[in-house]
Structure 1
Amino acid sequence: VDSIAHDTFLINNGVGFDADGEKPIDQVGTIERFNYSTSLSIWADPYANMINGTDGTIWHPNATKDERIYAFSPDICRSVYLTFNETRRNFADIDLYRYTLPRTIFSNSTENQGFCMNDTTINNTHELYCLPDGLFTQTPCRHLSEVDIPFPIIASNPHFLDADPIVLNAVEGMHPDDAIHRSFADIEPTTGSKYSLNKMEKIDLISDN
């Protein structure tokens, strides 16, 4: 993904009918194409390359507490999901559903294996090099468009929230706080309108020193 070029989205506006003659109201706001493609081609498997959900500006009406709210983030070249956390009430006395980024979204797990980096061993066989819990490689995602040299970049939650203790303890001054460092979205469930959004991300450069 060229981080310097302008990204283009084709968004489902909920108008019209699907192949079964039904109005796909639950697909309102979902991304149908990103930069003219229905999927990415930078990660290790089709699951990781999927473009799921919306661009984060709107969700479908009649949101429920037991569903995952999917959103595609071009900043990190992947889709993520949020899960229901609590019901809050705004200043106008309107109930909002707060969905938060799960603790395991960047975990070193089978579900995230497709986001691991390719590593070449001494005998030239390719293996996947997976980062510890809480870290997410950005090397395939961000590059200089003119010279095409990958940036050695790793993303995480601020202050390494949810990261492996080995990572957290290796850096001085980290004070992860779930209340202020976790990404969330407050949604009015009937209309699917976004009331507030807090997108948290920390970017680190890899050093060989």
Structure 2
Amino acid sequence: MYSNGTISYQEPRKYTFDRAQSVDDETFSFTTINVVYMVDSIAYDTFLVSNGVGDNAYGIERVDPVGTIERFNYLTSLLIWSDQYANMINGTDGTMWHPNATKDERIYAFIPDICRSIYLTFNETRRNIADVDLYRYTLPLTIFSNSSENRGFCMNGTTFNNIYELQCLPDGLFTQTPCQHFGGSLSIPFPIIASNPHFLDADPIVLDAVEGMHPNDTIHRSFADIEPTTG
């Protein structure tokens, strides 16, 4: 913990097998790329977050900044996207939010796996099994859209006649090439494109190009359930 009201931590990860969500049992074998073997060294992300303790400029105790990421890997913003907006580090790590949530606000979170901040908007009030009312915030339809808001996430490129332009993917697709690398000092980018499950919210040209996709807003849209008083 630091004197300016922030703490730093590294996020451990653990994976367990879930048979109910799997097509086969643990004895099933498949072949894939060994990403860990391809990477020369594994780096753990470091977060510096606000603990929400202290007063604002008016001397009133503040709670809104609790859990907000101040720095990620010692940087206040990313350096990989093509504009300042896309490189912003907004919100928390997605495991906590500030108290007194409202229905008209955007809930921001920074997702290291995709190297960008996202936001969720209020969808509905739900009651959990403990009879507690929760606000459900969901990922909006436009979060991965080919729009001016997402212009900074397009890839840099040049046309056949060497005219500079940004190369943007269709709605629903999000490039991971600037984000995912292997090879240590060579830093070779992975040609990876991300999307919602089953290409939810994707352009029909994307959805029609792959067989077996059945996007369902109820089960495929990302969400966060937040107890509004405590966060």
Which TM-score tier does this pair reach, normalised by the shorter chain? 0.7 to 0.9
What's the counterpart of residue 143 of structure 1?
181
Counterpart residue type for residue 167 of structure 1: V
CA shift, 1:118, in A, is: 0.7
Alignment length (residue pairs): 191
The residue type paired with residue 178 of structure 2 is P
SS in 1 for 2:126: strand
Q: 1:113 to 1:36 in 2, by over 3 A?
A: same
User: Which residue number in structure 2 is paired with residue 165 of structure 1?
Assistant: 204
Note the residue ranges of structure 2 that are not aligned, 5 or more in a row.
Answer: 1-38
CA distance in 1, matches of 2:105, 2:56: 22
Q: Which entry has the higher C-alpha Rg, 1 or 2?
A: 2
Query: Whose relative contact order is higher, 1 or 2, with alpha carbons under 8 Å and at least 6 apart?
Result: 1
Distance 1:184 1:155 in 2: 17
Percent of aligned pairs with the same residue? 80
- AA aligned opposite 1:98: R
Equivalence for 2:172: 134
1:54–1:145 CA distance, 2 compared to 1 (3 A): farther
Q: Which runs of 5+ in 1 are unaligned?
A: 193-209
**2:163 matched to which residue of 1?**
125
Aligned partner of 1:56 in structure 2 is 94
Instruction: For 1:31-180, list aligned pairs within 5 A.
Output: 31-146=69-184, 147-180=186-219
Separation in 2, partners of 1:14, 1:186: 21
Given that residues 12 and 32 in structure 1 are in contact (C-alpha distance below 8 angstroms), is that contact kept between their aligned partners in structure 2? yes
Q: 3-state DSSP class of the match of 2:54?
A: coil
| Maintained 8 Å contact 1:4/1:145 | no
2:227 corresponding residue in structure 1: 188
1:131-180 per-residue CA deviation (whole Å, 9 max, x = no partner) reads 00000000000001413111000000011000000000011010001111
Q: What secondary structure is seen at the aligned counterpart in 1 of 2:125?
A: strand
